[in-house]
DNA sequence: CGTCCACAGGAATGACGGGCGG
DNA sequence: CCGCCCGTCATTCCTGTGGACG
């Protein structure tokens, strides 16, 4: 792992060639860019550094558990510290291996393990082996290499929620079976309630040390943006107030630095597109909308057919002034839509699951309500504007033609 | 205060396409 | 090429439940 070093001069030339009047180097605003200094995270960096330091003298550092919401700098700080650690270890000729895995992106136990194996130079086939087998190979390789390994499991909560804590359990126990290898685990979680899902044994082992990342406050975000904008924008392209606005907007949204940086970058891009010399407030407002819209469009486009049909059902119900419909009704409409397309109908259980997935993606809102005597169900309503859905679905070969369909089952009732 | 609706949502299981070792 | 295991998506069966109604 290494910090991304970007050739600043090269970027200036590049921007000049492209005639940008706004950006010096927009890559600095990307959230995977790690600056040389992380404002307002000195404390966390020092703590993590301090906990990991013993590895330089050959002993196993404690496992660390790190929490904090998205965009609070967890990943950046960890990468930053590990980068320094690796450099130092080379300096003093101590071997340390570091492996960073994003569990949400890896997705499964198997792929997490295979990445861990890869980091110690052990090639594991993409698929085809039993998880236990991979684990044995991993242990064997660790034993023979005798190098301490620091594993970072980013977004580990996503893995546990989807797969259970079996892998984590095995990993925490791994040192007991090894004579020479030493493995430290650094778990990063976005979800504060995540601890409750863990086996107490795993929890106590994993959180020998805990580090909490609080959300950034508006002034802190401002400092971050200030620092980056010096590298990212040409002089004079940012008038005062823009940074304040971006940090205020992002602070309102859980103090998410990622969001703040996105806002600033997109606002800059919009200003650039307008041929302006500097970013205006309205660009930031537009950026706010554009980010959200792009996200939704992306989500809608990649939805599988049946999810689209369910969503289309909710869309039609809203169109018929039946917003806040319940699971059973959505299912009825969905069945009709399947019928129209000659597609097989999924079970209500499955559709209920799809509704939850759509809810998590933020395209609809579904919350459980109880009508007492008249049952307990989910109230479902559209979470995005109808026009966005229409714009995306109209081009869809399957769903497009359903946008004007009037479901029969809606005619018999009214809201 | 118990009943009972209309589901929620967990668990077990299966079908399927894909990839690997042998 | 076979047999095995993978992950994904779905079905089936199931137990659980908030609260208005009686």
Q: What DSSP assignment string belongs to A108-128?
A: SHHHHHHHHHHHTT----SS-
The domain locations on chain A are: 3-31+216-298, 42-213, 303-414
Q: Is nucleic acid strand C under 7 Å from A131's C-beta?
A: yes
Fold match flag (A42-213 vs A303-414): no
Handedness of CA A393, A399, A405, A411 (dihedral sign): negative
Fold of A303-414: Arc Repressor Mutant, subunit A (1.10.10)
Using DSSP's 3-state secondary structure scheme, residue A325 falls into strand
A203, A63 contact by CB (below 8 A): no
Cβ of A131 near strand B (distance < 7 A): no
Count of CB atoms situated within 10 Å of the CB of A46: 11
Q: Please state which of the ranges A149-158, A186-195, A372-381 shows the lowest mean pLDDT.
A: A186-195
Instruction: Place A96 in a pLDDT band, splitting at 50, 70 and 90.
Output: confident
Q: What is the model's pTM?
A: 0.74
* Residue A160, CB-side half-sphere exposure with 13 Å CA sphere: 22
Run of H or E residues at A349: helix A348-361
State pLDDT tens for residues A98-121.
888 888 777 677 778 877 877 777
- CA to C1' distance (Å), from A317 to B6: 20
Strand C proximal to A373 Cβ, under 7 A: yes
Task: Identify the residues numbered 134 to 193 in chain A whose C-beta atom is closer than 7 Å to any atom of strand C.
Answer: none
Tens digit of pLDDT for each residue in A341-354?
999 999 999 999 99
Cβ A126 to strand B below 7 Å = yes
Straight-line distance from CA A104 to C1' C7, in Å?
A: 15
Torsion of CA A309, A310, A313, A318, to 10 degrees: -130
Instruction: Flag the least confident range among A187-196, A383-392, A401-410.
Output: A187-196
pLDDT surpassing 80 at residue A79: yes
Average per-residue pLDDT for chain A: 84
Q: Is the CB of A356 under 7 A from strand B?
A: yes
Residue A18, classified by CB atoms within 10 Å of its CB into exposed (0-12), middle (13-18) or buried (19+), is: exposed
pLDDT winner (highest mean) among A1-15, A19-33, A67-81: A67-81
A370 touches strand C (CB under 7 A): yes
Is strand B in 7 Å reach of the CB of A128?
A: yes
| pLDDT value at residue A344 | 93
A306 CA from C9 C1′ (Å): 11
**Chain C footprint bases within 7 A of protein beta carbons:** 3-14, 16-21
- C-alpha atoms less than 13 angstroms from C-alpha of A414 in its C-beta half-sphere: 0
For helices A242-252 and A218-232, what crossing angle results, to 10°? 130
Question: Roughly how many angstroms between the first and final C-alpha of chain A, as a whole number?
Answer: 58
Bases of strand B lying below 7 A from some protein CB: 3-11, 18-21
Residues A287 and A270: their CA atoms lie apart, in Å, by 7
HSE-CB of A332 using CA atoms within 13 angstroms: 14
A207 CB-near residues (< 8 Å, 6+ apart): A63, A64, A65, A187, A195
- CA/C1' separation A322–C22 (Å): 30
Encode pLDDT of A165-192 as tens digits: 677 777 877 777 666 668 888 988 887 7
DSSP A284-318: HHHHHHHHHHHHHHHHHHT--HHHHHHHHHHHHHH
Whether CB of A20 is under 7 Å from strand B: the answer is no
Calculate the angstrom distance between C1' of B14 and CA of A26. 50
C-alpha atoms less than 13 angstroms from C-alpha of A298 in its C-beta half-sphere:
8
Tell me the CATH class for A3-31+216-298: mainly alpha
For residue A349, say whether its CB is under 7 Å from any atom of strand B.
Answer: yes
Cα distance between residue A45 and residue A261, in whole Å:
21
Q: Is the CB of A123 under 7 A from strand B?
A: no
Scanning every strand, the nucleotide with its C1' closest to A327's CA turns out to be B7
Cβ of A109 near strand C (under 7 Å)? The reply is: yes
CA atoms within a 13 Å half-sphere pointing along the CA-CB vector of A364: 33
Q: Which residue, among A251, A214, A271, has the nearest Cα to A44 in the 3D structure? A: A214
CATH of domain A42-213: 3.40.50.300
Looking at chain A, the number of H-run helices and the number of E-run strands are: 18, 8
Least confident of A6-15, A18-27, A160-169, A294-303: A6-15
Q: Is the CB of A306 under 7 A from strand C?
A: yes
């Amino acid at each position: 792992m290494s910090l991304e070093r970007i050739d600043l001069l090269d970027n200036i030339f590049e921007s000049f060639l492209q005639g940008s009047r706004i950006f010096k180097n927009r890559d600095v605003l990307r959230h995977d860019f790690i600056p040389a200094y992380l404002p307002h995270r000195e404390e966390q960096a020092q703590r993590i550094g301090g906990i990991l330091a013993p590895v330089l003298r050959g002993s196993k550092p404690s496992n660390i558990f790190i929490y904090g919401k998205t965009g609070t700098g967890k990943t950046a700080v960890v990468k930053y510290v590990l980068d320094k650690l690796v450099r130092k270890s080379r300096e003093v000729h101590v071997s340390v291996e570091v492996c960073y895995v994003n569990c949400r992106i890896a997705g499964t136990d198997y792929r997490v393990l295979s990445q861990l194996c890869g980091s110690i130079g052990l090639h594991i086939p993409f698929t085809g082996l039993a998880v236990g087998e991979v684990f044995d190979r991993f242990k064997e390789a660790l034993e023979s290499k005798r190098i301490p390994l620091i594993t970072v499991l980013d977004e580990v909560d996503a893995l546990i929620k989807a797969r259970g804590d079996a892998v984590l359990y095995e990993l925490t126990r791994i040192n007991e079976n090894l004579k020479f290898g030493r493995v430290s685990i650094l778990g990063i979680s976005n979800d504060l309630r995540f601890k409750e899902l863990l086996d107490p044994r795993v929890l106590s082992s994993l959180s020998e040390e805990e580090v909490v990342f609080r959300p950034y406050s508006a002034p802190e975000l401002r400092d971050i943006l200030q620092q980056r904008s010096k590298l990212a924008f040409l002089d004079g392209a940012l008038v005062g107030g823009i940074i304040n606005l971006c940090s205020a907007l992002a602070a309102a949204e859980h103090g998410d630095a990622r969001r703040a940086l996105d806002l600033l970058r997109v606002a800059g891009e919009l200003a650039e597109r307008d041929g302006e010399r500097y970013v205006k407030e309205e660009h930031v407002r537009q950026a706010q909308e554009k980010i959200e819209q792009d996200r939704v469009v992306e989500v809608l486009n990649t939805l599988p057919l049946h999810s689209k049909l369910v969503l289309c059902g909710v869309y039609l119900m809203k169109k018929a002034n039946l917003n806040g419909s319940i699971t059973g009704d959505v299912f009825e409409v969905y069945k009709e839509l399947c019928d129209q397309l000659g597609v097989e109908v999924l079970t209500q259980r499955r559709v209920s699951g799809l509704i939850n997935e759509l809810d998590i993606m933020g395209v609809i809102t579904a919350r459980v309500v109880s009508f007492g005597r008249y049952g307990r169900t989910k109230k479902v309503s559209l979470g995005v504007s109808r026009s966005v859905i229409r714009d995306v679905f109209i081009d869809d070969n399957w769903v497009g033609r359903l946008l004007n369909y009037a479901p029969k089952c809606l005619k018999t009732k009214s809201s």
